[in-house]
Amino acid sequence: MHFTSESVEALVDQFSRLPGIGRKTARRLAAFVLKLPRDEVEQMASALIAVKDKVIFCTTCFNVTDNDPCPICASEKRDHEVVCVVEEANDVMALERTRGFNGTYHVLGGAISPLDGIGPEDLRIRELVARVSGQGDSGGSITEVILAVNPSVEGDTTAYYISQLLAPFGVLITRLAQGIPIGSDLEFTDEATLTRALQGRVNL
């Protein structure tokens, strides 16, 4: 099924290029845009263009920002001795929503994945080492690096690689706890998650 308008079909094509959006969903989005008032469509278009024109990467943590340094790195209220290492900028937003972390971040831009042709040199690992070693803006004041990479083969590889590189600097290297999600049942939990939960058990 196709729209009888080439303009709408072009919009469907663009929406379908977005991750997780199939042709059916793209058509629904296009139909939704058609019903919007022109001023709202213009606001949407302006926001898309602004993302490309105004958004940059913080030269300290490499999170997306409109200003360099980003508000987190520039804040005097944050603990600049603790750096949480994440794979993508979306991970920063997820951790910030918890309101449970008051340190700073370092966005790698992905994880080591030889099968996908992504090696350490393709990530911002050198910049992390520079920050921890005192060659960056932090001046060697970092005392803890939290590896908040995804619990996957790629995440494990990345965490191990970084921990080996940072070991000589004497900083505390930790990783997010991994185990059974709250509200789930043991019988439906996979073996790998159960194994991690057992290994990461804590005293009560």
- What does residue 139 show for φ and ψ, rounded to 5 degrees? 65, 30
Q: Decide if pLDDT at 139 tops 60.
A: no
Domain covering 57-175 assigned CATH 3.40.50.300 in the classification: no
Segment 86-98, tens digit of pLDDT: 999 999 999 999 9
Quick: pLDDT tens for 102-123.
Answer: 999 999 999 999 999 999 999 9
Q: How high is the pLDDT of residue 3?
A: 59
Asked if the domains 6-54 and 57-175 are classified in one and the same CATH topology, the answer is: no
CATH code, residues 6-54: 1.10.8.420
This prediction has a pTM of 0.84
For residue 69, cis peptide bond before it (omega within 30 degrees of 0): yes
Nearest to 26 by CA among 50, 9, 44: 9
Q: What is the pLDDT of residue 181?
A: 84
Residue 202 has pLDDT above 80, yes or no: no
Burial 120-147 (b: 16+ CB within 10 A, else e): eeebbbebbbebbbeebebeeebeebbb
- Would you kindly state where each structural domain of the chain is located, as residue ranges? 6-54, 57-175
pLDDT surpasses 70 at 145: yes
